[in-house]
Structure 1
């Protein structure tokens, strides 16, 4: 699975806290998905998406 952080990230850190195996802050201070979502992290990545207060995270097969 692939995750993507779309434009509009407010750098709250919810996704990084929920799933650091997939999300991190880039050099500009906004979140990015730096790794594919491995099966063992699907639940955490979904939690990260669902906890995003501005709904800018997509997860696709």
Structure 2
């Protein structure tokens, strides 16, 4: 199983929380967050980053099923 990671550029405010929580998975580019890879192996730090985003700009889903992993609703 793998996860897809998306950052909504229109929602992102560039707080950097995600890059601080999961620097292996997120980076700031021109003041906004970007996932380093669109598909990742399941990892707690990816969920933590999505949950820590103050504007919920990060969406983590199971690849294939599309089930939302984070943020929790």
TM-score normalised by L of structure 2: 0.72
- Please say if 1:21 is aligned against 2:31: no
Which structure 1 residue ranges, 4+ long, deviate > 4 Å from structure 2?
A: none
SS of corresponding position for 1:11: coil
- Mind listing any 5+ residue stretches in structure 2 that lack a counterpart? 63-73
Shift of 1:55: 0.6
Which structure features the higher share of helix residues? 1
Greater Cα radius of gyration, structure 1 or 2: 2
The CA RMSD over aligned residues, in Å, is 1.1
Q: Name the structure with the higher strand share.
A: 2
TM-score (norm: length of structure 1):
0.84
- Which whole-Å deviations, capped at 9, do the CAs of 1:8-61 have from their partners, x for residues lacking one? 1111111001111110011x210010123223xx10000000000001100011
